Amino acid sequence: MEKSTNNIGIETRRQVLSFSQIRRWPEFGVILAFLILLIIFSIFSSKFLTLRNITGILTIVSELGIMAIGVAFLMIAGEFDLSVSSVYALSGFLFVTLANRFSSPLAFVITLSIAAFIGFCNGTITLRAHIPSFIATLGMMLLLRGSLLAVTGGESVSYSSDVIMPTILTRFIGYGFRPSHIWFLLLTLLFSLVLTNTRYGNWVFATGGKKEVARAMGVNINKVKVTNFMLSSLMASLSGCIVISRFNLANASFGTGMELEAIASAVIGGTFLTGGYGTIIGVFFGAFLMGMMRTGLVMIGAPAYWYQAFVGAILIIAATINLKLRRLEM
Amino acid sequence: MQEITPLAKMVDIDKNFGAVQALKKVNVEIRSGEILGLLGDNGAGKSTLIKILAGVFPSDGGEIFFEGERVNFSSPKDARAMGIETVHQALSLVDVMSISRNFFLGREPTKKIGPIYLLDRKKMDGECEKAVTGLGVRVRSPNEFVSILSGGERQAISIGRAMHFKVKLLILDEPLTALSVRETKEVLRQIEKARDSGVSVIFITHNVYHVYPVAERFVMLDKGIKIGEVYKKDASPEDIIEIIATGKMPETLKS
C-alpha cells in the first residue's frame, strides 16, 4: 500500500516535470501562437494552405526575418537599432546604382561594407557618447532616410544590370520558392548556433544580461556591442538588396516603419526588450507570424488596414505571455 | 612571519575621483594562505582599493607587486589571468543566464567540430554540476537560471567558481551582507576551506564580527587613509571597533 502511493507520487511529479520542460522552451509561446493562427486562417480561407500562398508568405517573411535576426541579436546584447529600415532603403539604392554602373557582385560587396560601417558608427556613437542606442540609432535612421530622400528627390531608379546577384538572392527556383527563403533559414540556423553554442554567444547573453558582470568576468563588452551593431546593419542591408532584386526598382521611401516590425518580430519571438535573453528560432517564428497575418487577414476577407491593429494586439499579448512564462521559471 | 614574501603588495596607492582624494598613500600586503580582513566604514576606500587590485580601474599613484613582480592591470581580465578574482554579491553572476553558463563565463570550454569551435555544453554542465554539488548547493540542474538562487547560494557558487579556476588571491566584497545565519556559516566554512587549500583571501566588510572568526590579520581604513593594522592575537573585536571609531591606533597596540 505504502509503495503504491509512492509510485503515484513519482508518476505525477514526472508529468509535471515534463510539462514544465516543454513550457521552458523559450520558443513555446510563439510556436503556440503560430499554430493557432495557422489553424484559424486555414479554416476560414480554403486558399490559405496552398503552396502558392505559403511561398508568397515566405518571400515577405524572409525579407523581414533576415532584418529581424540582426535586430534581435543586438537586442540580446542589450542595445536597439532603429536605423535598420533606413539602412535597408539606402542599401537598395546603393546596390542598384552601383550595379548599373559596375557589376552586381561588386555592388553587393560595396553595399554591405558601407552598411557594416554604418553599424560601426552606431555602436561607436552609442558607446563613446554614452547616449542610449535608442536615441543614437533614431538619429541615424532620420539622418540616412533624410539624406536619401534629399539626394534622390524621391525619384526611383530601376535595376538594369547583370543577373548574378538577383539570381543568387531571390530569382525563382521552382514551385514558387526563392533563394531568399533558403538564406533566411540558413541565417536563422547560423545565428542560432552562434548564440547558443559558441563562446561569443555566451558573451552576448552576458553583455545584455548584466554588462558589469560580463566585464568583471573578462568579456570585452564594447567589442561585443559594436560587432552586434555591425551585424544588425549587415543583415538589414542584405534584406534591402534582396527586396530590390525582387522588385528591380529602388525608392527612397522603401521600408519606412520596418524597424518596428523587426523589433515586434523579435519581441513576439521571446526576445527581452531589456536584453540578455532571446532565441533566434523564436524570432524566425515571430517574423513568420507577422508575414502570415499580413496575407492571412486579407484572405479571410478583412480589409488590409486591419493588419497593423492586429500586429499591435498580438505584440501586447505576446510580450505579456512571454513575461509570464519567464516569471514562472525565474 | 615578516620575512615571507607577500603574495600581493600595494605600495603608496593614491586614487582621486575629481577633487575627492579616495585613497592617500595606502600600503597593504597580503601573504600566502592567509585571510586578511579589510575593515572600515562606508566610504573609507575599501572597495576603491580592491578595485585597483582587481584591475577595474588604475591607481593615480603607487605600485602593485604580485608574486614579487611589479604588475600593471589595465582590465579585470589581466588580473584574472594572474589569479586574482573578486567576488561581489551583486556583480558576480548574471541573473538571466543559467548556472553553468555563468560558471564558465569568459572561460568557456570549447570543442573543435570541423573548422569551428563550439561550446562544450556537456563538459560545462557536467563540471558545473559536480562543482556546485560539492559546494552543498542543491539545484535541479545546472541549466536553471541564477535568478532562482538565494544570496547564499550565489555567494557559494561565485567562490566555488574562483576555486575551480585555481585562483591565488580571492577578494570577497561584503560577502555576508543580507545572508541568513545558516548561509553565513556555510560561506564562512567555504572561505576557510579556500584558505586551507593555499588561497589568500581579502575579506572586505564594515562589520568586524563578520570577519573576526576567520581572519588572522586586519587592516583598517578611514577616509582613504590606512589607520591601523593588527593581528588577531593582539586585538579583540572591540579593540578594532575602537580603532575604526576613533580613527587611530591606541598606544598599547602599536608595535
Q: What is the pLDDT of residues A15-27, one digit of tens each?
A: 444 555 555 677 7
- Residue of higher predicted confidence among A67 and A18: A67
Say what the pLDDT of residue A1 is.
36
Does the pLDDT of residue A147 top 90, yes or no?
A: yes
CATH number of the domain within which B223 lies: 3.40.50.300
Q: How many Å lie between the alpha carbon of B174 and the closest alpha carbon of chain A?
A: 16
| Residue B240 located in a structural domain | yes
> How confident is the model over B164-189, as pLDDT tens digits?
888 899 999 888 887 888 888 888 88
Of B86, B95, B116, the CB nearest to A210: B95
> What is the rounded CA–CA span in Å between residue A308 and residue B66?
62
A158 pLDDT tier (thresholds 50, 70, 90): very high
> What is the rounded CA–CA span in Å between residue B55 and residue A326?
35
Say what the pLDDT of residue A330 is.
57
Average pLDDT over residues A142-166: 92
- Mean pLDDT of all residues belonging to chain A: 88
As given in the structure block, the three cell numbers for residue A126 are 552609442
| Residue B214 located in a structural domain | yes
Q: Do A199 and B117 touch (CB under 8 A)?
A: yes
Does the pLDDT of residue A173 top 70, yes or no?
A: yes
Calculate the CA B43 to chain-centre distance: 18
Q: Which domain holds residue B15?
A: 8-89+169-175+200-253
Does the pLDDT of residue A8 top 70, yes or no?
A: no
Residues above pLDDT 70, as percent of chain A: 91
- Residue of higher predicted confidence among A3 and B242: B242
For chain B, what is the total number of helices (H) and then of strands (E)? 8, 12
Asked if A327 has any chain B CB less than 8 Å from its own CB, the reply is: no
The total number of structural domains in chain B stands at 1
| Residue B163 located in a structural domain | no
Asked if A165 has any chain B CB less than 8 Å from its own CB, the reply is: no
Q: Do B92 and A216 touch (CB under 8 A)?
A: yes
Cβ count near B103 (within 10 Å): 26
Average pLDDT over residues A39-55: 87
Asked if B77 has any chain A CB less than 8 Å from its own CB, the reply is: yes
Where do the domains of chain A lie? 26-329
- Mean pLDDT of all residues belonging to chain B: 86
- Given this structure, which CATH class describes domain A26-329? mainly alpha
A33 pLDDT tier (thresholds 50, 70, 90): confident
Q: Do A205 and B148 touch (CB under 8 A)?
A: no
> What is the rounded CA–CA span in Å between residue B103 and residue B50?
22
| Residue B227 located in a structural domain | yes
Does the pLDDT of residue B1 top 50, yes or no?
A: no
Say what the pLDDT of residue B4 is.
66
- Using CA atoms, how far residue B229 sits from A244, B85, B220, B232, B247, in Å, is 73, 23, 6, 10, 12
Of B97, B104, B116, the CB nearest to A209: B97
Say what the pLDDT of residue A11 is.
39
Say what the pLDDT of residue A22 is.
54
The answer, yes or no, to whether ipTM is higher than 0.90 is: no
Calculate the CA B237 to chain-centre distance: 21
> How confident is the model over A74-96, as pLDDT tens digits?
999 999 999 999 999 999 999 99
A134 pLDDT tier (thresholds 50, 70, 90): very high
- Residue of higher predicted confidence among B198 and A321: B198
> What is the rounded CA–CA span in Å between residue B172 and residue B150?
17
Asked if B117 has any chain A CB less than 8 Å from its own CB, the reply is: yes
Of B77, B92, B121, the CB nearest to A213: B92
> What is the rounded CA–CA span in Å between residue A82 and residue A263?
9
Average pLDDT over residues B227-238: 85
Buried b (16+ CB within 10 A) or exposed e, B144-181: bbbeebebbbbbbbbbbbbbbeebbbbbbbbbbeebee
Does the pLDDT of residue A69 top 60, yes or no?
A: yes
Asked if A32 has any chain B CB less than 8 Å from its own CB, the reply is: no
Does the pLDDT of residue B151 top 90, yes or no?
A: no
B254 pLDDT tier (thresholds 50, 70, 90): low
Does the pLDDT of residue B44 top 60, yes or no?
A: yes
Does the pLDDT of residue A266 top 90, yes or no?
A: yes
Asked if A167 has any chain B CB less than 8 Å from its own CB, the reply is: no
Q: How many Å lie between the alpha carbon of B203 and the closest alpha carbon of chain A?
A: 18
Asked if A212 has any chain B CB less than 8 Å from its own CB, the reply is: yes
Asked if B166 has any chain A CB less than 8 Å from its own CB, the reply is: no
B-chain residue closest to A274, CA distance: B96
Asked if A171 has any chain B CB less than 8 Å from its own CB, the reply is: no
- Residue of higher predicted confidence among A17 and B79: B79
Say what the pLDDT of residue B115 is.
87
| Residue B109 located in a structural domain | no
Asked if B96 has any chain A CB less than 8 Å from its own CB, the reply is: yes
Of B76, B94, B117, the CB nearest to A206: B94
> What is the rounded CA–CA span in Å between residue A39 and residue A304?
20
Asked if A201 has any chain B CB less than 8 Å from its own CB, the reply is: yes
Q: Is B253 exposed, middle or buried (0-12, 13-18, 19+ CB in 10 A)?
A: middle
B253 pLDDT tier (thresholds 50, 70, 90): low
Say what the pLDDT of residue B3 is.
54
DSSP B146: G
B-chain residues near A199 (CB < 8 A)? 108, 110, 117, 119
Does the pLDDT of residue A5 top 60, yes or no?
A: no
Say what the pLDDT of residue A7 is.
40
Q: Do B94 and A212 touch (CB under 8 A)?
A: no
Of A206, A215, A329, the CB nearest to B76: A215
> How confident is the model over A106-129, as pLDDT tens digits?
999 999 999 999 999 999 999 999
| Residue B29 located in a structural domain | yes
As given in the structure block, the three cell numbers for residue A257 are 516603419
| Listed residue (A189, A211, A106, A87) closest to A147, CA to CA | A87
pTM of this structure: 0.87
Pairing of strands B200-205, B169-173: parallel
As given in the structure block, the three cell numbers for residue B51 are 578595485
Instruction: Please report, as a single letter, which amino acid is at residue B111.
Output: K
Query: Could you tell me which residues come within 8 angstroms of residue B86 by beta carbon, excluding any fewer than 6 positions away?
Result: A216, B50, B51, B54, B76, B92, B171, B172, B173
A-chain residues near B88 (CB < 8 A)? 216
